[in-house]
Homo-oligomer: A and B are copies of this chain.
Amino acid sequence: MNLREIGEFGFIEELKKIYQYNNFDIIKGIGDDCAVFINEKNTAVLLTTDMLVENVHFEISTLSPKELGFKSLSVNLSDIAAMGGIPKNVLVSLAIPEKIDYEFLKDFYYGMDELINEYNMNLIGGDTNFSRSDLIINIVMTGEVEKDEVIYRNGAKINDKIFVTGYLGDSSLGLDVCLRKLKLDKYNENYFRNVHIKPKAQIKEGSVIAKSKLANSMIDISDGLASDLMHICCQSGVGAVIFENQIPYSEFMKNVFNQKNINPLDYALYGGEDFCLLFTVSPENKKKLCEIFQSHVNTNLFEIGEVIQGNRIELVDKSGDRKVLSKSGYRHF
Contacts and interface: CB of A to CB of B under 8 A. Distances in A.
Interface of A: 1-3, 5-6, 8, 11-12, 14-15, 18-19, 21-23, 26, 28-30, 34-35, 37, 39-41, 45, 47-51, 53, 55-57, 88-89, 91, 93-96, 100-103, 105-106, 109, 113, 116, 120-134, 136, 138, 140, 142, 332-333
Contacts of A40: 39-41
Contact of A131 (B56, B88, B109, B130): B56
Contacts of A34: 125
Nearest to A110: B18
Nearest to A88: B23
Contacts of A39: 39-41
Nearest to A3: B102
A49 B140 contact: yes
A130 B56 contact: yes
Most-contacted residue by chain B among A37, A40, A124 (CB, 10 A): A124
A131 B136 CA distance: 10
B89 A47 contact: yes
Q: How many copies does the complex hold?
A: 2
Nearest to A103: B1
A47 B128 contact: no
A133 B136 contact: no
Contacts of A2: 101-102
Nearest to A95: B53
A93 B126 CA distance: 14
A109 B106 CA distance: 35
A3 B96 contact: yes
A202 B208 CA distance: 45
B130 A133 contact: no
Contacts of A113: 18
A23 B144 CA distance: 13
A116 to B, nearest CB: 8
A95 B125 contact: no
Contact of A134 (B19, B22, B133): B133
A124 B32 CA distance: 10
A34 B14 CA distance: 30
Given A22-B121, A41-B40, A95-B51, A8 B101 contact: no
A122 B3 contact: no
B125 A35 contact: yes
13 contacts: A1-B103, A11-B128, A15-B109, A19-B123, A21-B122, A30-B124, A39-B40, A47-B89, A47-B125, A51-B94, A56-B129, A57-B129, A128-B333
Given A53-B131, A95-B136, A134-B134, A29 B124 contact: yes
Nearest to A142: B47
B125 A30 contact: yes
Contacts of A12: 128
A207 B14 CA distance: 34
Nearest to A120: B22
